[in-house]
Structure 1
């Protein structure tokens, strides 16, 4: 005989829930995936909290994130150096790119591309000037702090001999990819990167124990496809500039501007707006 407190499969529809005990109903709630509206509200609540944080706290967290992203560049370069040229290097070296993101996201550090979704949801919910100003304030503080950290770690890598010469050759090869394409192609690659990072943020509330896996898989795809990420790529491209292998005009015009615009478009338009759209009616009804 089955245990009375065990939920048995049933195909009789929602009405069957009326016959369940309170304990069984609780089991159903815990085993059901969170719906889009619940994910939206979870991220929006986090966004509201971020918008209210003090500037110094945002700046410190953003600086830490920029520095941490340097480990993506370092680890991918070390793997590229260690692996023989060929398919193995192409497939395995991008795993190193995930390290910085794992540190930043699991460590709750402020990363600009995450903020193309999290604080934008409160803006879509409220749609007023006050919230817009708060979003722009958050973006400005976090972007500047991220860049400061990224430039600092790039300068250290360019001027301090931490590794053997072969590793620096691999780092230069990786960094060169940030300015290998024109404005339009870099912008398109950045749209995909911003899209994937914002999707990652959308997936995390429901991921629970799988969060490291979600982060690693999404960012691995970004590296494998050579999509452009404004902070991770800033470490790479700034390394070229500090090492004298590219000019700062290359950094600004060929990498920074198209990547920044693409990341914002990918995060805001393709994830924040679309995912808000699917729950907008329900959210509006609950205002």
Structure 2
């Protein structure tokens, strides 16, 4: 007997059958190829383009701290306050992702898929080059943003008090706990990148929803968190050693494990047979 499970019903007209094809969800392979193509384009970008885009992203991510802090400052200190203020954390991600700026945690998925597709030392070199440029420029942007906000009177004392509280709180967990929190944050952000090709006009809602989850769970994101902890360091409430060793290093490692290990490898494993 012929297999008719994937054949449109004979009761449909030809135009209606075309509509069925158009509204069907794309296969995983199609999403994989869309993300991989983007990764290949990013790997071909000149160093200067990557650097300036990543610096812009580091600066823009400062608005996650600002958004969260301003909402906290305007709300009563009640147990439900984080349920609302955490939406402010999404502002930086909206600017960076919709503005097509280079964010390190996005590249734990995007540029890894081309490497998994054509494994080579040259491909690994290209990924490490992009990671190094984007990471350093992102961090430089976060430091510049935190320095300017802490050293000027742009924001009210009430808002700056909340910025400081956010930074102190982000630096509080032990390196082991921060590493574990960062795995989940890297996992969520890489999933966000995976979902965007399917999102269409709903992209802002996908970004807000998943980054809100990161904020609400108090998970550790290397770039957004760097702004917060660097602000506390510039204010003298956190030591720079604590910033670098207690926060930056375990968060970097955790985000990479979450993005590469839990999303990129699994996403590629789903399509290896189909791709062959």
TM-score > 0.5 by shorter chain: yes
Match of 1:26 in 2: 18
Match of 1:154 in 2: 146
Match of 2:65 in 1: 73
In structure 1, the gaps of 5 or more residues are: 1-11
Match of 1:8 in 2: none
Query: In the alignment, is the contact (CA less than 8 A) between 2:8 and 2:17 conserved in 1?
Result: no
Superposed displacement of residue 269, structure 1:
0.2
Superposed displacement of residue 20, structure 1:
5.6
Aligned counterparts of 1:243 and 1:165: Cα–Cα separation in 2 = 13
Alignment of 1:251-262 (within 5 A): 251-262=243-254
Superposed displacement of residue 24, structure 1:
3.0
Superposed displacement of residue 18, structure 1:
7.2
Aligned counterparts of 1:256 and 1:215: Cα–Cα separation in 2 = 23
Structure 1 or 2, whichever has the larger Rg, is 1
Matched, 1:186 2:217: no
Superposed displacement of residue 14, structure 1:
2.0
Matched, 1:223 2:212: no
Aligned counterparts of 1:266 and 1:68: Cα–Cα separation in 2 = 23
Find 1:171's aligned residue among 150, 163, 170.
Answer: 163
Cα RMSD for the two superposed structures:
1.3
Superposed displacement of residue 16, structure 1:
3.4
Match of 2:8 in 1: 16
Superposed displacement of residue 26, structure 1:
2.6
Superposed displacement of residue 25, structure 1:
3.5
Match of 2:28 in 1: 36
Match of 1:282 in 2: 274
Find 2:55's aligned residue among 52, 60, 63.
Answer: 63
Superposed displacement of residue 47, structure 1:
0.4
Aligned counterparts of 1:237 and 1:194: Cα–Cα separation in 2 = 18
Match of 2:46 in 1: 54
Find 2:128's aligned residue among 124, 136, 139.
Answer: 136
TM-score (norm. length: structure 1): 0.92
Find 2:241's aligned residue among 219, 244, 249.
Answer: 249
In structure 2, the gaps of 5 or more residues are: none
**1:197-217 deviations in Å (ceiling 9; x for gaps):** 000000111111111000000
Name the count of aligned residue pairs. Answer: 273
TM-score (norm. length: structure 2): 0.96
Match of 1:7 in 2: none
Match of 1:235 in 2: 227
**1:181-239 deviations in Å (ceiling 9; x for gaps):** 10110000000000000000001111111110000000000000000000000000111
Matched, 1:123 2:115: yes
Query: Partner of 1:53: helix, strand, or coil?
Result: coil
Aligned counterparts of 1:111 and 1:17: Cα–Cα separation in 2 = 46
Matched, 1:266 2:266: no
Query: In the alignment, is the contact (CA less than 8 A) between 2:147 and 2:231 conserved in 1?
Result: yes
Superposed displacement of residue 19, structure 1:
7.4
Matched, 1:95 2:87: yes
Aligned counterparts of 2:95 and 2:7: Cα–Cα separation in 1 = 46
